[in-house]
């Protein structure tokens, strides 16, 4: 699969630098990040009916985002729900 992404220059620079520090091409580094995230999604029970509202929905959303690894170049706490609204 081929994906084209438009990234802010600073995000691209951070990703390139991190890939270089790990001795990887940018392509290989991004493929590692994406496949890791895809594997994490497999652990989530996608067939499970999600609650539509209330605290149960909040809990399920928090559990899903707890499985997400924040890639280099993205600020810590970016996946926390309280930061979505800033």
Domains of the chain: total:
1
pLDDT at residue 55 in the model: 73
**How many other C-beta atoms are found inside a 10 Å radius of the C-beta of residue 73?**
16
CA-to-CA separations, 59 to 54, 81, 86, in angstroms, rounded: 9, 11, 21
The structure's pTM equals 0.50
Residue 26 lies in a domain: yes
Domain holding 65, by residue range, is 9-83
Rounded CA gap, 84 and 34, in Å? 21
User: Can you list the alpha helix ranges (DSSP code H) found in 1-86?
Assistant: 9-21, 26-42, 54-66
Residue 4 lies in a domain: no
Q: pLDDT digits over 36-82, tens only? A: 888 777 666 555 565 566 777 777 777 777 777 766 666 666 666 66
């Amino acid at each position: 699969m081929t994906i084209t992404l438009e990234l802010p220059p600073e995000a691209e620079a951070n990703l390139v630098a991190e890939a270089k520090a790990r001795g990887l091409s940018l392509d290989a580094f991004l493929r590692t990040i994406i496949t890791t995230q895809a594997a994490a999604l497999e652990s989530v029970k996608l067939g499970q009916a999600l609650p539509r509202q209330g605290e149960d929905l909040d809990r399920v959303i928090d559990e899903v985002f707890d499985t997400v690894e924040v890639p280099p170049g993205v600020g810590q706490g970016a996946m926390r729900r309280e930061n979505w609204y800033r």
